[in-house]
């Protein structure tokens, strides 16, 4: 069975709150899949259900085709980092990795390897309780890598990282995917994933809103807009409207056109001898695409929704 | 979507097994310094409080106002190696080789003092009230010698326990019921054949029933045989808050015999009367005892008892007085072993690494129990000899204990600590909070134990009930002294006597731990973590 995460129709209710409402998606190997959504959208709950920590009310979550609870050496099939603070402060980082290694039938040498990989060698024998959040994230990454698994899952790994750490993390995630692993990374900030993820699963209110490649998502969100600066504003608007566009006057000598490519706008204006001083095409950022998608799904807005 | 070869690890993973889980939990345990320190503290508490008890318990006697204080004497030792009381009035003749003695008992009465003690050495029974003690005894006896603690077998009537055959202090077999009187006398017979003494009783002297057969190893060919009377000390224990006090004193048994019949070789021509008694026996002075013989009728007055000694302190348990403190320490560690994981969410890492939660808890329990057992074993094996050494140095006689009893106390105490820690682990898993779980387990084990062994806080019935049904019942494993139904004694937990047998008491604790573990596994499987 291919090493993937498959989530099908997950539903989970916490008291009156519906946390997951038919969550369905697949994580493919060889790429970084961003798992994004506003706070409270259900990212962590989904991940906990994938790891068998929480039980779903309905639906299934499998790793490599099997439910997590049936895995015998789970850490060699899925590496995960849910909460970097989930450790005992009085135990050293190395000993934390050591008991994890022992639980998987691995030895101390493997623990030392992942310490090296996560860049923790100099701090490995210090108590984990004294670590900064960024260092704990690295320790959590080391734990996730312990079993050298084909599937990796990180919940908000950029939290608490300094800029240098963020750069390291991006490169690291990409290199993991480049080795052919399936990498699922959650974040509530799209900007963190902008240059990292190949594929995005955007969720809101417990369900998937969009499941597409980054390129497709941007293209869908930024129905191209072209801004034209022209002394002959009314003339230009007439020409463009005749061509089926929806020009709008945004300043005394500026119009914004949507529904036409920049090349088409240039050709129409030239053919009709309409002078223009400047023409600029505008592309939506991933961030804007995301805002657009999740506008209705944000749980915690200023106004209280019943 | 780019198509790639899925990742394959080069890492060689060994076969899945429970030993890996045990190893992981052991690594967890040994890498938290606080837990190792806690175990050392538990050990030090047990050893330290034991040493303190030994150092502070002095026993001494002064024979005169100006004489130096001497160590308390040890009671005589019976043929089985146990401490015994061997104090009675003996009307005897040597019996050479095999033979038998038969007698008819027509009454057993007695004297005791309601205010305790006795009047004076000159006239000890002055002012005493007539009345026989339940275990006042009189009858016939065959004994290796007149030295205290030697082998014997006896047939007797008792104050309120009918006819008994008793031998070598610890053996007791019931015969005819009811009291002996002129209207309803009791016939008793002992027959010696080699090392074997057989006891019979009869209501009419014609129809005999065998009561028991005693084998007295090494009984000399010429033994001492004859009539005896003894009456154990009487005591009334009154309880008040925080303690109990006893009023009591020695008593006298007076028995009337006739129809004395003998078979075999009895080389002496007449009966010799002698009070067998040690200097510190709880018996009336020799002057109060004696016998008369007129026309084949004998009256024998005797004081004391022929029985195992039950009034000495349980020295071994005494040295382990710090067990409850060490137990608190290991319970705290047991609880923390799981609640520390809940506190910061590490339990999720644990269950991610090992999704089968019941097995994780089992591995935790085994590691915790093994560590605690080892710590308990070392602590008790050090504390008992140390405490005994200090007690002995302070003049306390040290009762003999069989290797099996020693092993029972040492292994039992270690097991008591281990299972208590596991109970802590289970309750910690149930409640997921340290404070609540620690409190719950201490209230379940230590509190009932302290309430039961401190006399006067609770009624006696409640004390017994506490050490029967609560996990504190397991403290019975520390009892190294035995309960004898044929000896009247205040058999209370405060005196070191537990109502349940050692391993039955331990089983009660195990049942509680098993129940808590089962419930914990059930909840672990159902709950989201």
- ipTM, interface predicted TM-score of the complex: 0.83
Say what the pLDDT of residue A288 is.
73
Q: Do B25 and A99 touch (CB under 8 A)?
A: yes
Question: Would strands A182-187 and A151-155 be described as parallel, antiparallel, or unpaired?
Answer: parallel
Q: Do B13 and A71 touch (CB under 8 A)?
A: no
Across A101-110, A167-176, A261-270, least confident range: A261-270
B83 versus A295: the higher-pLDDT residue is B83
Say what the pLDDT of residue A298 is.
60
Say what the pLDDT of residue A32 is.
95
Radius of gyration of chain B (CA): 30
Chain A contact set for B28 (CB, 8 A): 88, 91, 99
| Cα distance between residue B273 and residue B92, in whole Å | 6
Residues in chain B: 529
pLDDT, tens digit (0-9, with 9 covering 90-100), for A4-57: 899 999 999 998 999 999 999 999 999 999 999 888 899 999 999 999 999 999
Say what the pLDDT of residue A302 is.
44
Say what the pLDDT of residue B244 is.
64
Q: Give yes or no for residue A1 having a pLDDT over 60.
A: no
pLDDT along chain B (529 residues), means of 10: 66 76 96 96 97 90 81 91 94 96 96 80 84 96 97 97 97 95 96 97 96 95 97 79 72 96 94 92 90 95 94 86 96 97 94 95 98 98 96 91 94 98 98 96 95 85 92 95 87 88 97 98 94
Residue with tokens 């695409």: A289
The answer to whether B195 contacts chain A (CB < 8 Å) is no
Residue range(s) in chain A whose domain bears CATH number 3.40.50.300: 5-213
Q: Do B355 and A91 touch (CB under 8 A)?
A: no
Say what the pLDDT of residue A303 is.
42
Q: Do A53 and B14 touch (CB under 8 A)?
A: no
Q: Which CATH superfamily is domain A5-213 in?
A: P-loop containing nucleotide triphosphate hydrolases (3.40.50.300)
Nearest CA in chain A to B527: A54
Q: Do A73 and B13 touch (CB under 8 A)?
A: yes
Through-space distance between the first and last CA atoms of chain A, rounded to whole angstroms: 44
Q: Give yes or no for residue A306 having a pLDDT over 50.
A: no
Q: Are A117 and A190 in contact (CB under 8 A)?
A: no
| Cα distance between residue B514 and residue B369, in whole Å | 13
| Cα distance between residue B40 and residue B47, in whole Å | 11
Query: At a CB cut-off of 8 Å and minimum separation 6, what does B457 contact?
Result: B241, B242, B451
Residue with tokens 């995301």: A290
Cα distances from A285 to residues A119, A219, A222, A223, in angstroms, run 33, 10, 8, 12
pLDDT, tens digit (0-9, with 9 covering 90-100), for A64-81: 999 999 998 899 999 999
Q: Do A180 and B345 touch (CB under 8 A)?
A: no
Chain B contact set for A104 (CB, 8 A): 13, 20, 353
Say what the pLDDT of residue B393 is.
92
Cα distances from A98 to residues A104, B27, B370, in angstroms, run 10, 7, 21
Sign of the CA dihedral B19, B20, B21, B25?
positive
Helix boundaries (H) for A118-157: 133-145
Transcribe B311-323 into DSSP letters: -S--HHHHHTTTH
Residue range(s) in chain A whose domain bears CATH number 3.30.70.1150: 223-282
Nearest to A104 among B4, B344, B353 (CB): B353
Helix (H) or strand (E) holding A32: strand A32-36
pLDDT, tens digit (0-9, with 9 covering 90-100), for A171-181: 999 999 999 99
Q: Give yes or no for residue A284 having a pLDDT over 80.
A: no
Q: Are A250 and A231 in contact (CB under 8 A)?
A: no
- Is the CATH number of domain A223-282 3.30.70.1150? yes
* pLDDT range class, residue A300, cuts 50, 70, 90: very low
């Amino acid at each position: 069975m291919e090493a993937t995460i498959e989530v099908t129709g997950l539903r989970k209710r916490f008291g009156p709150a519906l946390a997951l409402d038919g969550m369905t998606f697949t994580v493919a190997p060889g790429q970084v899949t961003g798992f994004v959504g506003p706070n409270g959208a259900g990212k962590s709950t989904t991940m906990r259900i994938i790891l068998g920590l929480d039980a779903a009310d309905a639906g299934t979550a499998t790793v490599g085709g099997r439910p997590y609870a049936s895995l015998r050496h789970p850490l060699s099939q899925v590496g995960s980092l849910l909460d970097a603070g989930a450790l005992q402060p009085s135990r050293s980082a190395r000993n934390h990795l050591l008991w994890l290694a022992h639980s998987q039938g691995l030895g101390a040498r493997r623990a030392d390897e992942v310490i090296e990989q996560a860049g923790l060698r100099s701090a490995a024998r210090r108590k984990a309780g004294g670590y900064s959040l960024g260092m704990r994230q690295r320790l959590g990454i080391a734990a996730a890598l312990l079993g050298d698994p084909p599937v990796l899952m990180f919940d908000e790994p950029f939290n608490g990282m300094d800029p240098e750490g963020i750069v390291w993390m991006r490169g690291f995630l990409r290199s993991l995917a480049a080795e052919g692993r399936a990498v699922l990374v959650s974040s509530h900030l799209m900007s963190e994933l902008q240059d990292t993820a190949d594929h995005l699963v955007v969720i809101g209110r417990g369900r998937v809103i969009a499941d597409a490649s980054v390129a497709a998502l941007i293209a869908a969100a930024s129905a191209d807009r072209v801004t034209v600066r022209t002394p002959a504003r009314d003339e230009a608007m007439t020409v463009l409207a005749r061509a089926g566009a929806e020009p709008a006057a945004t300043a005394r000598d500026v119009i914004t056109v949507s529904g036409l490519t920049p090349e088409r706008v240039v050709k129409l204006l030239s053919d009709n001898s309409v002078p223009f001083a400047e023409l600029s095409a505008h592309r939506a950022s991933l961030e804007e695409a995301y805002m657009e998608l999740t506008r209705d799904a944000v749980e915690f807005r200023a106004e209280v929704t019943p | 979507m780019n198509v790639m070869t899925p990742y394959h690890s080069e890492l060689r993973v060994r076969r899945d097994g429970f030993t890996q889980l045990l190893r992981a939990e052991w690594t967890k345990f040994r890498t938290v310094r606080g837990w190792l320190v806690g175990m050392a503290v538990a050990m030090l508490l047990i050893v330290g409080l034991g040493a303190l008890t030994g150092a502070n318990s002095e026993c001494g006697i002064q024979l005169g106002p100006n004489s130096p204080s001497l160590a308390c004497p040890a009671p005589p030792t019976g043929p089985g190696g146990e401490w015994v009381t061997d104090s009675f009035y003996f009307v005897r003749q040597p019996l050479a080789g095999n033979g038998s003695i038969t007698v008819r008992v027509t009454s057993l009465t007695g004297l005791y003092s309601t205010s305790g003690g006795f009047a004076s050495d000159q006239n000890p029974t002055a002012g005493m009230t007539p009345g026989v003690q339940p275990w006042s005894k009189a009858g016939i006896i065959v004994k290796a010698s007149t030295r205290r603690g030697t082998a014997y077998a006896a047939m007797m009537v008792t104050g309120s326990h009918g006819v008994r055959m008793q031998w070598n202090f610890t053996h007791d077999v019931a015969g005819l019921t009811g009291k002996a009187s002129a209207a309803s006398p009791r016939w008793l017979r002992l027959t010696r054949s080699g090392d074997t003494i057989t006891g019979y009783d009869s209501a009419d002297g014609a129809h005999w029933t065998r009561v028991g057969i005693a084998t007295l190893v090494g009984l000399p060919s010429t033994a001492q045989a004859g009539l005896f009377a003894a009456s154990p000390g009487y005591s009334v224990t009154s309880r008040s808050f925080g303690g109990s006090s006893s009023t009591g004193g020695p008593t006298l048994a007076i028995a009337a015999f006739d129809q004395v019949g003998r078979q075999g070789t009895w080389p002496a021509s007449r009966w010799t009367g002698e009070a067998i008694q040690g200097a510190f026996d709880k018996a009336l002075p020799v002057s109060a005892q004696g016998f008369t013989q007129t026309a084949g009728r004998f009256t024998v007055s005797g004081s004391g008892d022929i029985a195992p000694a039950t009034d000495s302190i349980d020295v071994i348990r005494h040295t382990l007085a710090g067990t409850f403190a060490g137990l608190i320490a290991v319970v705290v560690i047991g609880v923390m072993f799981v609640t520390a994981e809940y506190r910061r969410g590490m339990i999720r890492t644990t269950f991610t690494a090992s999704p089968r939660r019941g097995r994780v808890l089992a591995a935790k329990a085994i590691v915790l129990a093994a560590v605690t057992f080892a710590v308990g074993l070392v602590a008790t094996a050090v504390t008992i000899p140390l405490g005994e050494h200090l007690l002995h140095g302070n003049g306390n006689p040290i009762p003999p204990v069989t290797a099996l009893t020693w092993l029972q106390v040492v292994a039992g105490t270690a097991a008591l600590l281990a299972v208590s820690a596991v109970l802590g682990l289970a309750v910690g898993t149930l409640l997921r909070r340290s404070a609540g779980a620690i409190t719950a387990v201490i209230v379940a084990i230590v509190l009932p134990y302290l309430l039961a062994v401190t006399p006067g806080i609770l009624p006696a019935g409640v004390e017994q009930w506490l050490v029967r049904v609560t996990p504190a019942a397991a403290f019975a494993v520390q009892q190294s002294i035995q309960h004898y139904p044929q000896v009247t004694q205040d058999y209370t937990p405060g005196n070191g006597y537990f109502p349940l047998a050692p391993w039955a008491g331990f089983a009660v604790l195990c049942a509680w731990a098993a129940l808590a573990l089962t419930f914990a596994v059930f909840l672990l499987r159902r709950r989201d973590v």
